[in-house]
Amino acid sequence: MSVHVIGAGLAGLAAACQLTELGHHVVVREAAPHAGGRARSYFDKQIGCRIDNGNHMLMSGNISALSYLHRIGARRSLLGPAEATFPFRSIKTGEAWTLRLNQGSFPWWIFSRARRVPGTQPHNYRTLLRFKRAKPEHTITDLISTSGALYNKLLKPLAISALNTMPEEASASALQYVLSETLERGGYATLPRWARIGLSETFIDPAIDWLRAHGAEIRFGERVTELAPGQATVVATPPWIAAELIPGLTVPTQFESICNIHFKYEMPPGETGFWGVVGGITEWVFARPEVISITISAANRYLDISHEDMVRRVWAELVKLFELPAAIPPHRLLWERRATFRTTPAQLKLRPNTRTSNPNVVLAGDWTDTGLPATIEGAIRSGNAAAMALMNPT
């Protein structure tokens, strides 16, 4: 069977790989001159080095994403520690700590002061059980207090980064889905992983090479404005484009931004990897050769700050955290205004299923109803689901 995949982001590439492996002829049609969508790398002339358009982290429990990388021969392109460790630093207090999970599913790490969040006691973690009773209308702060070390040093940064929505608006059930696939499974499912070189080198370029080697066609610069009748099709576009291609389709309508700032600067020796940051604008810091990359999720709250002021304030925080020089190095700010849909109870109700009313047309994208928030794992899982739905129309 010949299948057209519209969109060469991660969801589209995952669907294309799955369909190709099943023996079908796949044509990937992408409007942009490149693949990857919101997860790609490029050479930035302004700062003179290669950067990612955003920072992304996987967990070892992201089975769909890791299986995708194994299929395209890119599994070893990831970096990460041998243990489930998450270093944090506080801008307000200067405090530094590392969350260290044990391998098994029983969380004995909460009984170790050296492993748990500082300022917490073992009984504080019973709060997490409340998410198991979350109803569809509950937000995170409907269920837990916004005071205390557990919320401010763990749950709040986790919720903002995983859901890209502020906790007072974010769905509690969506956070529970994340917890059930990571913390609740223990350290073996929570090993942090990130691209050794860049997102394109890990997720995109190997997939394009694999697809072409297996007979798929990749067409860039080809915008699709209407679906061909009777053509088996995977629509793996952003939701607003999918709604134009499929009249009457219900999709999320509200979106959250993510701000990424890349500074061309080499971290001092010994300062490598990543850090979570609390108490400021900066949320996650990734140190790579030549570049320090900053991620700020749920960034709609900062839209009234100019780009110049955002850069100045974030670099001042890095100066304080890592004792860096005060002079701001060459940098690039990338502000993705519609990075993900807002993970609110109301917007979750608008996520469509994989299947459409047309048995020849299926949907893929992190905005479809995968259960997960809009993540790499969700995007790849949606692509796999779309491929299987197309193969099994009943």
Cα atoms found within 13 Å of the Cα of residue 155, Cβ hemisphere only: 27
270 and 387 part of one domain: no
Which candidate, 183, 162, 175, places its Cα nearest to that of 109? 183
Token representation of residue 33: 């001159």
pLDDT digit string, tens, across residues 201-219 = 999 999 999 999 999 999 9
138 and 266 part of one domain: no
357 and 230 part of one domain: yes
377 within some domain: yes
212 within some domain: yes
**What total of structural domains would you count in the chain?**
3
12 within some domain: yes
Cβ(363)–Cβ(356) under 8 Å? yes
What backbone phi and psi angles, to 5 degrees, belong to 257? -100, 160
267: confidence class by pLDDT, cuts 50, 70, 90: confident
Please state, in angstroms and as integers, the Cα–Cα distance from residue 266 to each residue in 45, 175, 296, 327, following that order. 18, 35, 20, 14
Distance CA 236, CA 29 (A): 10
241 and 302 part of one domain: no
286 within some domain: yes
Kind and range of the H or E element at 42?
Answer: strand 41-44
pLDDT digit string, tens, across residues 152-178 = 999 999 999 999 999 999 999 999 999
Q: Which domain holds residue 182?
A: 101-190
Range 9-31 average pLDDT: 97
Percent of the chain exceeding pLDDT 70 equals: 99
70 within some domain: no
Residue 272: pLDDT over 90: no
166 and 307 part of one domain: no
Which strands sit side by side in the sheet containing 291-296, from one edge to the other? 96-101, 84-90, 273-278, 284-288, 291-296, 255-264, 331-341
Cα atoms found within 13 Å of the Cα of residue 270, Cβ hemisphere only: 1
Kind and range of the H or E element at 384?
Answer: helix 376-391
pTM of the model as a whole: 0.95
CATH number of the structural domain spanning residue 23:
3.50.50.60
CATH number of the structural domain spanning residue 331:
3.90.660.10
324 and 205 part of one domain: no
340: confidence class by pLDDT, cuts 50, 70, 90: very high
3-class DSSP state of 80: coil
Round the CA-based radius of gyration of the chain to a whole number and report it.
Answer: 21
Cβ(284)–Cβ(276) under 8 Å? yes
Amino acid at 3: V
